[in-house]
Structure 1
Amino acid sequence: MLSRSVKLQEIRCGKCSKKLGAGEYTRLSIKCPRCKALNELSATSAIPERPGASPGVAKNDESNHPLAGWQTKTGG
């Protein structure tokens, strides 16, 4: 059983629209029992772990903060 609440994606045959299942996938190949069509599916993008999650640190450890890289003078 999944520990987090996840809405499963419905998987249907591309030819006859028969429901083949529900779940999460990155790549899937499934043959329809009704029309015998081979359905090959792949995810277009990864789903974030939680909606609105920050993507983390930018490439090359560059910060997206507007003041990143600015230095303050210390001493007098």
Structure 2
Amino acid sequence: MQEIRCGSCGRKLGEGIFQILSIKCPRCGTINSLRALSPTPERPGASDSMKANDATRSPSHTPPRRERL
């Protein structure tokens, strides 16, 4: 569980698991709006596989340039 504190005065407002939360601090009256971080991808690194292949290519694998006539 994640500890939730006021962004202005630091008072502990609660603990929990949340996606989106808006809570008013009873001490200072600040409205604290919190949002959970983006979830991790279902298959970590799946979208990075193409980038990794491009980075490991050496210049010898590039097609030869054609001369214009």
User: What range is the shorter-chain TM-score in?
Assistant: 0.5 to 0.7
With the length of structure 2 as denominator, give the TM-score of the two structures.
0.57
Q: What's the C-alpha RMSD, in Å, of the aligned pairs? A: 2.3
State the one-letter code of the partner of 2:43.
Answer: P
Which has the larger share of helix? 2
With the length of structure 1 as denominator, give the TM-score of the two structures.
0.52
Deviations, residues 1-51 of structure 1 (Å, cap 9, x unaligned): xxxxxxx10000000000000001110000000000000000121268xxx
Q: For residues 7-46 of structure 1, what are the structure 2 equivalents within 5 Å?
A: 8-46=1-39
For structure 2, the 5+ residue unaligned runs are 48-69
CA–CA separation in structure 2 for the residues paired with 1:22 and 1:47:
22
For structure 1, the 5+ residue unaligned runs are 1-7, 49-53, 60-76
The answer to which structure, 1 or 2, has the higher relative contact order (CA under 8 A, 6+ apart) is 2
Identity %: 54
Residue in 2 aligned with 1:71?
Answer: none
Matched pairs, number: 46
Q: Report the CA distance shift for 1:28/1:47 in structure 2 as closer, same or farther (over 3 A).
A: farther
